[in-house]
Amino acid sequence: MENTFSTNLRALRKKRGITQEQLADAVGISPQAVSKWETSSYPDAQLLPAVADYLGVTIDELFGRKQEEPCLHDRIIRYLAELPREKYFREAFGLCRAIALSAISPNGKYDPLPDNISKQRNGENYTQVTCQGGWLQGRNTDDLQYYLLMPEPEEGYDRVLAYEEKYVEFYSFLTIPNALRAMYFLAGQQSSLFFTAGTLAHELGTDRENARQIIEGMLKFSFIWEATLNNGQNSEKIYQYLASCHFVAFMTFTRTLLNRPCSFNNQMNDRSTPYFRNNTYQNR
């Protein structure tokens, strides 16, 4: 039976231009021992790591068990999973930026954001790529960083983001006095918080009727859920906030829409077609 180890060792050594004497010296054995390995014998198990390291391969490869390289996505998952949680999002943000740079400078090299961009005060800086297949945008300034990457659906963005009257109803809800302030208040509490109409009225400095209007609107859009607390003598409605991180996203992109990006660290605009193409506003 062919000695696969011997065949592989000889081929790997010659491929790297290494003599038997050099390998023997690196591992701490005689050249005659290496010669025997390349014909019929095997090294002691404790020597295998040194042999593999010197040849720049794995022990599996020495025995012809070359493992398939994990795909890029798997390597990214493993890389991020091993990071401490306090570094996770910073590193993930850097990977998103690398994705953007691959479209803007395909032959370039990743460079970290300079401090005069990431740490600037009273200023905003973005990265943006728009093309026929979709778009992405990231805000680079440390005080509020994000990336949004949106491949374009085959039938256009507005097949899912179609005009609907419920959007009008939602924006009408926000015109109720103190409604947006209530959203901010709840977003600033622990998710386990339960509150009453009286709690909301007190926090907003308003009356219970206004608090009741806000609560009805929030229930309609499932921003909160309702339960009944019975203390044995009477009952009271209590509520819990559900919007979680989604309100942060909503306000981030509301702010971006109202303060359209005009300063870019990197930018590529290569799109000639509209983002909405189905005229869904006509379907009323």
What are the boundaries of each domain within the chain? 4-62, 113-284
Look at the domain 4-62 and name its fold: 434 Repressor (Amino-terminal Domain) (1.10.260)
Tokens of 4: 């696969």
Question: Which one-letter DSSP state was computed for residue 2?
Answer: -
Calculate Rg over the CA atoms of the chain: 31
pLDDT digits (tens, 9 = 90+) for 86-99: 999 999 999 999 99
Report the range of poorest mean pLDDT among 2-6, 16-20, 95-99: 2-6
Q: For 152-234, where are the E strands, in sequence order?
A: 194-195, 224-230
**CATH no., domain 113-284:** 1.10.10.10
Nearest to 118, CA basis, from 127, 107, 128: 127
Determine the Cα–Cα distance for residues 9 and 34; give it in Å rounded to an integer.
Answer: 9
pLDDT digits (tens, 9 = 90+) for 141-186: 999 999 999 999 999 999 999 999 999 999 999 999 999 999 999 9
Task: State residue 199 phi and psi, 5-degree precision.
Answer: -60, -45
The structure's pTM equals 0.73
